Amino acid sequence: MRLVLLGPPGAGKGTQAQLLSENIGVPHISTGDLFRTHIAQNTPLGKAASRFLDAGELVPSTLTIDMVRERLTVPDTQNGFLLDGFPRSIAQAEALAHTLGDRGIKLNAVLSFVIDEDVVVERMLARGRADDSEMIIRNRLKVYAEETAPLLDYYADQIIAIDAAGEVDEVNRLTQMKLHNNVGTR
Ligand code: ADP
């Protein structure tokens, strides 16, 4: 099963991706986590990416796309993957389509986590990550609206919308149910 998870920052995508990855047995690939690991290890990519994460800006697409392409060559993605935080722009979505197309594969679905902006700001302030100050949160929401939200149209015919306002377990139950009804167990 090859899935993309979409949703504003703070929608709980990462948490849901983790659970779903266990449910369906495919790796959870979070570009945010990959960048944070590079930054923690002070790699050249980490050095190049850190100021963008600090500002709540998108890391330039070339860096991001190369990192994802490489991750998708790891054999654990053979039976599928869950992409969390990628693509985040039309250019990234086109690059992904290209990469998958070269291998003769396609996405099975795009899960869209739907939630109110007020709720996401509250959640992010509560979790207290380094880039979770109010000003940077606002910038991430702005970047989401401008760069990422257009993907809802781009992927229109593959989208499965999920109400992400409930408790973690409830959202996971909803996600599994909708996935089962729309895609089955590929
Ligand atoms: P959230 O979903 O809460 O915004 P993430 O962990 O997904 O958090 O992303 C954190 C930061 O990592 C983003 O604000 C951005 O700087 C960078 N980032 C993650 N994914 C991408 C991507 N696909 N393209 C560019 N930058 C990215």
Per-residue model confidence as pLDDT tens digits over 22-50? 999 999 999 999 999 999 999 999 999 99
What does the block give as tokens for 63? 């860096």
**Res. 186 pLDDT band, cuts 50 70 90:** low
pLDDT greater than 80 at residue 106: yes
Domains of the chain (ranges; CATH) run 2-180 (3.40.50.300)
Check if 140 has its Cβ closer than 6 Å to any atom of ligand 1.
Answer: yes
Of all residues in the chain, what percent carry a pLDDT higher than 90? 82
For the whole model, what pTM was predicted? 0.92
Q: Where residue 128 falls among pLDDT bands split at 50, 70, 90? A: confident
Distance 92 CA to ligand 1 centre (A): 13
With b for 16 or more beta-carbon neighbours within 10 A and e for fewer, the 87-120 pattern comes to: bbbeebbebbeeeeeeeeeebbbbbbbebeeeeb
Residue 69 marked as a ligand binder: no
- Tell me, what amino acid is at 60? P
Question: Does 120 sit in the ligand 1 pocket, CB within 6 Å?
Answer: no
* Contact 7 CB / ligand 1 (< 6 Å): no
